[in-house]
Structure 1
Amino acid sequence: MSNLETLELPLIAGDVTPCCPPVTSAALSEADSVRMATMFKALADPVRLRLFSRIASHPAGEACVCDIQDVGVSQPTVSHHLKKLRDAGLLTSERRGTWVYYRVGPAALPAMARLLTTG
């Protein structure tokens, strides 16, 4: 059982910019700190970070699990790590036939970047 849950990152009026202010501009609220800690915690594992990087840098903007699973761990372990990334709101997925395709969640990178920006 995971202590991570699927997170919905709040967006501003149709933009992909998250509502969380930069960490240098004000103290984070409890809700924002939990939301962002969950995302960073999911990326704190080297295998998850490699999987996330492979998906984020894939030329098509999405990657089939069959194209990214060679990260030095078994296929069930890859599935476990991808689920953790999905549950943290970092990835979205879509099943097409027998394969699952992954994309970076639309608000994931802007949320982390904005939090770490000085402002």
Structure 2
Amino acid sequence: MPKTLPVIDISAPICCAPMSETPLDDDAALEMALRLKALADPARIRLVSILLTEEGRGVCTCDLAAMVGLTEATTSHHLGQLRKAGMVTPQRRGMNVYYQARVDSLHALCVALGATTGCC
């Protein structure tokens, strides 16, 4: 049985020095682990990727579900986990919910991981 991590508020962008500068303390390591756990699913990675390419416009849950080939309920679940981790933000428009990536939060995670430049 996998170990359950405690529930803490991780909706604000992570704020710590890159891991390569100084070892993380227990609290910072836990915050990092919870954020990475939220991303540790191929569907969630795809959702974040789609939302990053549509930056500023927002994408309806129904359209996201079609793009990733999942039901709207499953897509909403994944988006909820990303929202709790502070990586996306919802906006209700009538009967639909539109999501946008929180670029500041995703960038802060990259900086904390030490990825300040592009890869390759």
Same fold (TM over 0.5): yes
Instruction: Indicate whether 1:73 and 2:76 are aligned.
Output: no
Amino acid at match of 1:43: L
1:7 matched to 2:10? The reply is yes
Runs (4+) off by over 4 Å = 2-6
Bigger mean CA offset, 87-96 vs 99-108: 99-108
- Fraction of identical pairs, as percent: 37
User: How many angstroms apart in 2 are the aligned matches of 1:49 and 1:108?
Assistant: 15
Measure how far apart 1:61 and its partner are: 4.2
Unmatched 5+ stretches in structure 1? 11-17
Name the counterpart of 1:88.
Answer: 85
Distance (whole Å) between structure 2 residues aligned to residue 60 and residue 9 of structure 1: 19
Q: Specify every segment of 5 or more residues in structure 2 that has no aligned partner in the other structure, as ranges.
A: none
Alignment of 1:33-112 (within 5 A): 33-58=29-54, 60-70=56-66, 71-112=68-109
Deviation string 1:2-58 (CA, Å, 9 cap, x unpaired) is 965542436xxxxxxx53100100011222212121111111101111111111111
Q: Do the aligned residues in 1 keep the contact of 2:62 with 2:72 (CA within 8 Å)?
A: no
C-alpha offsets along residues 52-87 of structure 1, whole Å, 9 cap, x if unaligned?
111111154422223211212221111111101111
CA distance in 1, matches of 2:92, 2:75: 16
Instruction: Report the TM-score, using the length of structure 1 for normalisation.
Output: 0.79
